[in-house]
Amino acid sequence: MAEGLLIAVGSDHAGLNLKRAVVKALGERGHEVLDLGTDSAESVDYPDFAHAVAAKVVSGDAPLGVLICGSGIGMSLSANRHPGVRAVVCSDTFSARMARMHNDANVLCMGERVVGEGLALDILDAFLGASFEGGRHARRVGKIEL
C-alpha cells in the first residue's frame, strides 16, 4: 500500500461518523489528510463537499479523494461532474481494488448507511493498496472523457 499520500476527504452530515473513522485510519496508515468537512451533524448539501474534494484531485493537490454520505451515490454523481475525476461507489473490497486497477479510480465514495466501519476500512485499504495496471485499461480509461 502506498504510504505518505495526501488524501482529500469529505462528507455530509450522513457520513460524518464514518468520515471521522476514515480520517483516523488514514493517519494511522501514514497518510496526510486534507479534511474538507463537514464537521457537524447539522444537515448540509453533499455536492458542496464532493466538489471541494474533486477540485483538490483535479488540481493535483491531492492524488486521491474519499467521499462519504448516506449511500455514497450522491457524492459520486457530484464528483464525477469534474473532468478527470473517476469517482466510484464501493461497498465491497473487490470493487474497490478493481476500480483502481482497471479504471484508475481516484475518488472512493462510500455510504455510512450501507457499510459499517470495519468493512469501510477494509474497502479503503483495498482501494489504497491497488494501483492502476495501465495497458489495455489505459486505452479504455482514455475513452471515458468526452
What is residue 1's predicted lDDT score, i.e. its pLDDT?
Answer: 56
- The CATH number covering residue 25 comes to 3.40.1400.10
**Residue 1: inside a domain, yes or no?**
no
Q: 66: which residues sit within 8 A by CB, 6+ positions away?
A: 7, 8, 9, 10, 19, 22, 26, 53, 107, 108, 109, 110, 124
From 116, 119, 29, 46, select the one nearest 87 (Cα to Cα). 46
What is residue 146's predicted lDDT score, i.e. its pLDDT?
Answer: 74
Cis (ω within 30 of 0) for the bond into 38?
A: yes
What averages of pLDDT result for each successive group of 10 residues across the chain (146 residues)?
Answer: 86 98 98 97 98 98 98 98 98 98 98 98 98 95 88
Q: Provide the number of structural domains found in the chain.
A: 1
Domain that holds residue 96: 6-142
- Known active-site residue 69: yes
Cell numbers for 42:
447539522
What is residue 145's predicted lDDT score, i.e. its pLDDT?
Answer: 82
- Known active-site residue 137: no
What is residue 2's predicted lDDT score, i.e. its pLDDT?
Answer: 64
- Please report, to the nearest 10 degrees, the dihedral formed by the alpha carbons of residues 38, 40, 46, 48 taken in order: -50
**The model's pTM:** 0.96
Collapsing DSSP to helix, strand or coil, 99 comes out as: helix
The separation between CA 84 and the C-alpha centre of its own chain, rounded to angstroms, equals 14
Q: 134: which residues sit within 8 A by CB, 6+ positions away?
A: none
| Catalytic residue (one of 31, 69, 90, 109) | 69
